[in-house]
Amino acid sequence: WYVEKDIEGTQFEPLFENIKPVLEKLYQDGWNLGIATNKSLRGLNRGLIHHAIEDFFSIIMTADNFIPKPNKAMAMHALRTLKVKNSETFMIGDTVYDIKMGKNAKINTIAVIWGYNAKEELKQASADYIVNDPSELVEILRGL
């Protein structure tokens, strides 16, 4: 069903509430934003265009071209490509795999609780920060 809907172009991943304004603020603040996902590029691109957020991202990495998370391959590629230091980089994610990838790449991690994994699971994954609301992301990153 998902493959058929993807091919039809009639179903899109939802965009969590208040995410677009956060992306806009971080982009305007000069952050290099990237996507590291275990999903396919085809569906991801359609969703980015549908939600009009594709221009915010400097780099996009999918499981089509990289070893899936929690392997650190996507993170390491982003660090090299964007020429940023581990200490200046944050993996923001809603799954244990996101946090583990960040830990495997020795980068800072921020877990968000409005996605796939529960707060307790994200705590157990040892996220450096756990946020309850998208606006907290801007506060954390601006504060560093």
Give this prediction's pTM.
0.90
pLDDT tens column, 4-55: 666 666 667 788 999 999 999 999 999 999 999 998 898 888 889 999 999 9
Q: How far apart are CA 90 and CA 87, in angstroms?
A: 8
Residue 129: per-residue pLDDT: 97
Phi, psi of 101 (to 5 degrees): -60, -45
Residue 143: per-residue pLDDT: 87
| 19 three-class SS | helix
Using the structure block, give the residue that is written with the tokens 């609301």: 133
